[in-house]
Amino acid sequence: MNLFDVYPLIPVTPVKALGAKLWDDQGQEYLDLYGGHAVISIGHTHPHYVKRIEDQLNTIAFYSNSVQIPIQKEYAEKLGNISGYPEYSLFLCNSGAEANENAIKLASFETGKSGFIAFSGGFHGRTSAAVALTDNPKIIAPCNAREDFQILPWGDLQAVELRVKEGNIAGIIIEGIQGVGGIQVPSPEFLTGLAHIAKDFGVKLILDEVQSGFGRTGKFFAHQWVKDIKPDIISMAKGMGNGFPIGGILISPEFKASYGLLGTTFGGNHLACAAGLGVVEVLEQEDLIQKSADLGAQLKEALQEIPGIVEVRGHGLMIGIDLDREAASVRSELVKKYHMFTGSAATKNTIRLLPPLNIEWNQLNSFITALKEVLAQSPILK
Ligand SMILES: Cc1ncc(COP(=O)(O)O)c(C=O)c1O
């Protein structure tokens, strides 16, 4: 049987990984500045994380949400404290799209309305409601398209207010920092304005922190760079499990739970919670959120000096580098000659950096040197 061929592949076969390093089947070492789509938060095969999962696997790996699962409560307690949202509730699922799907559903249940607003450049996943709020017509199947879902221009508060006043809007969804869209940071005025509109009109504000959460940006959530923003729902995944499939939403206390309102077979299983706890424990023990803030600031400063780079955006270790040329050939040269993985974005001249948060400065420095060399050599393809 063949694999359904939907992924363009980098011609490398990693077989081993540790920290920010990968090794292929020929023994060649690679530096991981992309973390497999922002997933690797605490570093590949972190010993504490591995032990947490191993110990759990040897005890009980799974039972469904029809019995008491104390490790879920332990995880919720820990997550509430580290995220700064101890009064919120946690619902666990298995991926980012699923987290957004539940967030959208919950906002709709609570308001009794069906309309949603998202923004240009946004990416919220590939499932039915999440994809309908994603700004990429190519991945929206006819069965996903919805007339009451609207994608409005990024930063346009007036357009949001007009649409909300027309009625039937349950929620507004926005990324803490846009990832796939090319590392676009919402201005404090934009986020604060959305929060005000949401409050004034009884609309739910959903912060999609799937890519930008779990310390990635130097705060636990990216929206925490803006003072006094308290979303109604926060969606999470990716760095949450460091490779173990886990997602979830944090839900403000204004929502009332009832049996059957949301549900999942796999979400919140013992093994996933052990992986999740392993991640937050390492974030704390190694002070990785602060490390991300510090390393990111240092890296941004150095990148800004490189000829061929026209803009550097982002916070912490979620960085977008805009080049004066298309990024694809630069990225493939970084893989082939320098053995470094970086990420692409919807904007063709952007390199996306999402390394493990425990990457070392000398590793980032070797990337700076490599990028400088590639940009000095390669022709400008406008
Ligand atoms: C901001 C954001 N939301 C949601 C998703 C969907 O997550 P998943 O691929 O885990 O379904 C992604 C994935 O890239 C994302 O970047």
Question: HEC states along the chain?
Answer: CCCCCCCCCCCCCEEEEEECEEEECCCCEEEECCHHHHCCCCCECCHHHHHHHHHHHCCCCCCCCCCCCHHHHHHHHHHHHHHCCCCCEEEEECCHHHHHHHHHHHHHHHHCCCEEEEECCCCCCCCHHHHHCCCCHHHCCCCCCCCCEEEECCCCHHHHHHHHHHCCEEEEEEECCECCCCCECCCHHHHHHHHHHHHHHCCEEEEECCCCCCCCCCCCCHHHHCCCCCCCEEEECHHHCCCCCCEEEEECCCCCCCCCCCCCCCCCCHHHHHHHHHHHHHHHHCCHHHHHHHHHHHHHHHHHCCCCEEEEEEECCEEEEEECCCCHHHHHHHHHCCCEECECCCCCCEEEECCCCCCCHHHHHHHHHHHHHHHHHCCCCC
Protein residues whose CB sits closer than 6 Å to any atom of ligand 1: 37, 95-97, 100, 123-125, 175, 179-180, 208, 210-211, 237
* Cα dihedral 76→78→81→86 (10° resolution): 20
Which pLDDT does position 379 carry in this prediction? 67
Domain assignment present for residue 8? The answer is no
Q: Domain of 370: which CATH number?
A: 3.90.1150.10
Q: Domain of 138: which CATH number?
A: 3.40.640.10
By most ligand atoms within 8 Å of CB, the mutation choice from 238, 246, 264, 354 for ligand 1 is 238
Tens-binned pLDDT, residue by residue, of the chain (382 aa): 999 999 999 999 999 999 999 999 999 999 999 999 999 999 999 999 999 999 999 999 999 999 999 999 999 999 999 999 999 999 999 999 999 999 999 999 999 999 999 999 999 999 999 999 999 999 999 999 999 999 999 999 999 999 999 999 999 999 999 999 999 999 999 999 999 999 999 999 999 999 999 999 999 999 999 999 999 999 999 999 999 999 999 999 999 999 999 999 999 999 999 999 999 999 999 999 999 999 999 999 999 999 999 999 999 999 999 999 999 999 999 999 999 999 999 999 999 999 999 999 999 999 999 999 999 996 665 4
Domain assignment present for residue 145? The answer is yes
Are residues 91 and 125 part of one domain? yes
Please report, as a single letter, which amino acid is at residue 380.
I
Are residues 29 and 42 part of one domain? yes
Domain assignment present for residue 4? The answer is no
Task: Point out the domain boundary residue: 263, 285, 307.
Answer: 285
**Domains contained in the chain, number:** 2
**Minimum-distance ligand 1 atom for the alpha carbon of 37:** 14
By most ligand atoms within 8 Å of CB, the mutation choice from 211, 240, 242, 354 for ligand 1 is 211
By most ligand atoms within 8 Å of CB, the mutation choice from 39, 104, 124, 236 for ligand 1 is 124
Are residues 190 and 309 part of one domain? no
Are residues 330 and 281 part of one domain? no
Task: Point out the domain boundary residue: 261, 285, 309.
Answer: 285
pTM value is 0.98
Are residues 216 and 102 part of one domain? yes
Domain that holds residue 111: 47-285
Are residues 333 and 229 part of one domain? no
Are residues 117 and 86 part of one domain? yes
Are residues 252 and 176 part of one domain? yes
Task: Point out the domain boundary residue: 238, 256, 285.
Answer: 285
Q: How far is the CA of 208 from the centre of ligand 1 (A)?
A: 9
Domain assignment present for residue 6? The answer is no
Are residues 219 and 81 part of one domain? yes
| CB neighbour class for 59 (10 Å; exposed up to 12, middle 13-18, buried from 19) | exposed
Which pLDDT does position 150 carry in this prediction? 98
**Minimum-distance ligand 1 atom for the alpha carbon of 180:** 16
Which pLDDT does position 299 carry in this prediction? 98
Nearest residue by C-alpha to atom 8 in ligand 1: 96
Alpha-carbon separation of residue 6 from 90, 210, 252 (angstroms): 33, 22, 37
